[in-house]
Amino acid sequence: MNSPAAKTAWSSKSLGNRFQHQIFYALLRLAGPWPAYGLLHLVVFWYNLRPSVRRNAGYFLARRFGRQAWPQRFWQSFRLSLSFGKVLLDRAMLGVLGRGEVTVAAEDMDSLRQMLARGRGVVMLNAHFGCWQTGMAGLEAIDRPVNIVLQKGAGDVDKHYFEHRSGQAVVNLIDPNGPFGGTLDMLAALKRNEIVCIMGDRVVDGDANTVAVDFMGGKVRMPFSIFAIASAARAQVAVTLIERQGPGLAKVHFADCFEVPPDLGKSPAALCPWVQRYASALERMAWQKPYQFFNFFDMWEKE
Amino acid sequence: MSLKEELKQAIVADLNLEDISPDEIEDDEPLFGEGLGLDSLDAVELVVLLQKHFGIEVKDMEEGRQAFVSIDALAAFIEQRRG
């Protein structure tokens, strides 16, 4: 599984092309969600016939379920890809039709408000888990600006939910390819006591600021930059994972909340325990909800 | 000690620059990229450094971007903020 030939870097490139995505968007507009969900099953089944699609899904699934016979592997890969497709449809549905419902437990909302009351901003550390963008829409109810750190690759044709909207974006986007990698924008947002949302489970090209942490029985590299920024800003960190519970339904889980000590600088050794804490929270959720952890590449280091 | 020397010493110490001494940093040398080679997280550290050593809070990050060009620019920024 970890052979050099099989090792591929993560890419945001979409599986389908722009035209195929437009078909789904048009179907959503013209016929509503159910025909789009129906077509999705056929499309995912077709793509799942490709060995490369099953292999990419299998890196994580094999760690979660162990080595399975071919029919199980096919079924698990189909379920994972279908689940991912539903998330993409949900976020399009939210953007196109304005349909979506996000549940945030009252105590979690109180926790978030308490974190913001400290006045030093909150880092919402997300992952490629569930329907994070649909969940982010639920944050519109909070009276604080939301900044999303978002990198779009050249081959990524999936529209994000705020891109479906014709008006002004309801969130501020921070480009990690911008000046200083967007770090000063993130720091400024936290200093303004705003929310900064960022994925913590992917290493983007050229990011040397990573550490190896334990995850699903192996070592993976995860970025530590956001923890250094949180330390500098003395901001709270909330590991925010958003479970898809049904068509257009999302539930926000604050899987862990903590404050990174100040003045850690950019020392990998000092920041590693906090990255590990994030990885452990993500692992717990990925274990509980395996078909909501969207990992389609071999993220594990060779043992 | 001049402001620029103070800045150089603080940068070398706080950013843990191991292969360079304060004297080797030129006043007009770019701090990022091909100059001193600082990276995006060093920019965050510079913001912290300015507050810690000089009591200057950088809230407008566009201002910070212009100030982080070189030691000359940083010193001018500090003097301007000190009035």
Give SS3 for A174. strand
Contacts (Cβ under 8 Å, ≥6 apart) of B69: B30, B31
Contacts (Cβ under 8 Å, ≥6 apart) of A268: A209, A211, A224
Give SS3 for A38. helix
CB A2 within 8 A of CB A298: yes
CB A122 within 8 A of CB A238: yes
Q: How far apart are CA A33 and CA B68, in angstroms?
A: 50
Which tokens sit at A9? 């870097």
Contact: A180, B43; criterion CB under 8 Å: yes
Domains located in chain B, CATH noted = 3-82 (1.10.1200.10)
Instruction: Tell me which chain A residue has its CA closest to the CA of residue B38.
Output: A180
Answer whether B48 touches A (CB < 8 Å): yes
Contact: B47, A232; criterion CB under 8 Å: yes
Query: A284-303 pLDDT, tens per residue?
Result: 999 999 999 999 999 998 86
Cβ pairs bridging A and B (under 8 Å): 52
Instruction: Tell me which chain B residue has its CA closest to the CA of residue A267.
Output: B16
Of A183, A191, A265, the CB nearest to B40: A183
- Identify which of A41-50, A87-96, B63-72 has the greatest average pLDDT: A41-50
- Identify which of A10-14, A167-171, B6-10 has the greatest average pLDDT: B6-10
Q: Which residues of A touch B15 (CB under 8 A)?
A: 265
What DSSP character marks residue A15? S
How confident is residue A59, by pLDDT bands cut at 50, 70 and 90?
very high
Contact: B16, A265; criterion CB under 8 Å: yes
CB A239 within 8 A of CB A255: yes
Contact: A184, B32; criterion CB under 8 Å: no
Amino acid A154: pLDDT: 52
To the nearest whole angstrom, how far is the Cα of B76 from the nearest Cα of chain A? 20
- Say yes or no to pLDDT of A64 above 60: yes
To the nearest whole angstrom, how far is the Cα of B39 from the nearest Cα of chain A? 7
Contact: A183, B45; criterion CB under 8 Å: no
Of A181, A188, A192, the CB nearest to B40: A181
Instruction: Tell me which chain A residue has its CA closest to the CA of residue B33.
Output: A180
Contact: A185, B61; criterion CB under 8 Å: yes
Please, which residues bridge with residue A218 across strands?
A215
Query: B6-40 pLDDT, tens per residue?
Result: 999 999 999 989 889 999 999 999 999 888 899 99
**Higher confidence at residue A116 or residue A19?**
A116
Amino acid A257: pLDDT: 93
Of A192, A209, A266, the CB nearest to B45: A266
Query: A29-39 pLDDT, tens per residue?
Result: 888 888 999 99
A264 to each of A82, A232, A260, A288, B10, how far by Cα in Å? Answer: 41, 8, 8, 32, 16
Task: Confirm whether the ipTM is greater than 0.85.
Answer: yes
CB A196 within 8 A of CB A244: no
Q: At what angle do helices A51-65 and A268-288 cross, to 10 degrees?
A: 100
Amino acid A1: pLDDT: 33
Q: How far apart are CA A155 and CA A18, in angstroms?
A: 9
- Say yes or no to pLDDT of A71 above 90: yes
- Say yes or no to pLDDT of A163 above 60: no
What DSSP character marks residue A194? -
Rounded average pLDDT over A102-127: 87
What DSSP character marks residue A192? T
Q: Where are the beta strands (DSSP E) in A57-119?
A: 101-104
CB A254 within 8 A of CB A284: no
What DSSP character marks residue A261? P
Predicted TM-score (pTM) of the model is 0.86
Answer whether B63 touches A (CB < 8 Å): no
